[in-house]
Every structure is written in C-alpha cells, then in structure tokens.
Amino acid sequence: MYLFSRTAVVRANPRVMFPWVQQITEVVRANTSLPVSAWAASFGAPIGGVVWSALVKSQAELAADMTSLLGNQEYLDLLATGQDMIPAAGQDSLRTLVHGSPEPEHGLGSVSAVTWGTATLSRIGETLAWSVEMAQHAEKTTGNPVSVWVNAFGLMGEVTFFSIYDDVASAEAGQQALNSDPGYIERLHGSEGLWLPGSGNQGRFTRIA
C-alpha cells in the first residue's frame, strides 16, 4: 500500500481558499478512484499549507487516475484558478507502508499528528525496526492507531509516523500522554545514531475536505 500526498502553500483569503480546496477535492473524488482528502496545516508547516492525500494500491493505479484527470476540463479549470493562489510549485510524495492498518476515511475536523525524520541509511533496517516498536508503544500509550511509512521517492530514508484523532482535544491528550510516558522517553534516548541529527519534525494537520 502507498500513501500519495500533494503539498502546496495556498496564499489567499480563507473565504476564497477553502471553497477552492473543497471544490477541487470533490472533483478528484468524483472522477477518479482516489479517496482523496485535504488537510490544512495547523502547526509545524508553513501558514497556508494544504496537503491532499489518498491511499493507493499501486503506482499503476495512481498513474491511471492522474492521467485521466489531465483530460478533465473541470479539473483543469480549477488548476488554472489555483495558479494565482499558489505562488510556488507544490510537491508530490509517495510513501510505502511499513506498519499499521490506516483507515481510508476520516471525518471533517479530524486531526493528523505527524512526526517525521531521516534515517541513517547505513542503519535503515534498525531504524525501521525501532520505528515499528515505537509506533506499537505509542498505540498502547495513547489508545490511537499509528502508521509508519517510508519514502518511495524523494529524500531517501525519510520515515513518517501518522496518528489521526477525532478532534484537537483528543490529539492534545495523546500528545500529553506520550510526553509524560517514561517508556516513550526511554525509547527516544535509545534511538541515538539511527537518525540524521536535526532531521526530526512534528506537525499537525486538520481535515478540511
């Protein structure tokens, strides 16, 4: 299984930005097999950041859907409208599932807690094993599923953890549970040498479409 993501920074008044994001998301859902959803950055990413994401079974399936969109006039018109709101090129990402059983759908207002870092390539096997163990421990501590993914393209060795909560309150409770858990802190200390120094990041995103 893969996780496809398209990331862009949308520079527009929210009264214009949100309806456009919702409209283009619905067009993609209606004209492809992609269960795409849109997430707005809350913390840990540029203001105006939007991530469209979808679970896909294969690269061939994704390519077929993307090709079909290039012949859809409504989609192309919305892309043209969006050019004025997106001053810099966006980026597509594709990640491979390492651990977890991610759900394809989450309701509007759901909150995605995201942690990512870059593994030391000479120890990638150890890093992935540590990541799975850490995800399992976080699941027990927070009571919330955690999935682990590794880049299929782009920065080699980048590993991403996703945990999606129903709302901000439950996401905050999960974060507090981890930060106060001795086993979590102990595992962080035990990761020395597995990650490139300074590559760790945390973010939070809210589903808007």
Which of 3.40.50.300, 3.30.70.100, 3.30.420.40, 3.40.50.1000 is the CATH number of 2-94? 3.30.70.100
Query: For residue 144, what is the DSSP state?
Result: S
Is the pLDDT assigned to residue 36 strictly greater than 90? yes
Q: Are 141 and 184 in contact (CB under 8 A)?
A: yes
Is the model's pLDDT at 8 over the cut of 80? Answer: yes
pLDDT for 102 beyond 90: no
Of the CATH numbers 3.40.50.720, 3.30.70.100, 3.30.360.10, 3.30.565.10, which one belongs to the domain with range 96-207? 3.30.70.100
Task: Give the domain ranges of the chain.
Answer: 2-94, 96-207
d(CA 209, CA 206): 9
Going by C-beta distance under 8 Å and a sequence separation of 6 or more, which residues neighbour residue 21? 10, 38, 40, 50, 208, 209
Q: DSSP characters for 101-135?
A: ---S---TT-EEEEEEEEB-GGGHHHHHHHHHHHH
CA proximity to 196, closest of 144, 127, 118, 121: 118
pLDDT exceeds 90 at position 196: yes
The DSSP H or E segment spanning 18 is helix 14-31
* pTM (two decimals): 0.94
105 pLDDT band (50/70/90 cuts)?
Answer: confident
Evaluate whether 2-94 and 96-207 have a shared fold: yes
Average pLDDT, the chain: 96
**Residue of 6, 7, 4, 8 whose CA lies nearest to 33:** 4
Identify the three-state secondary structure at position 169: helix
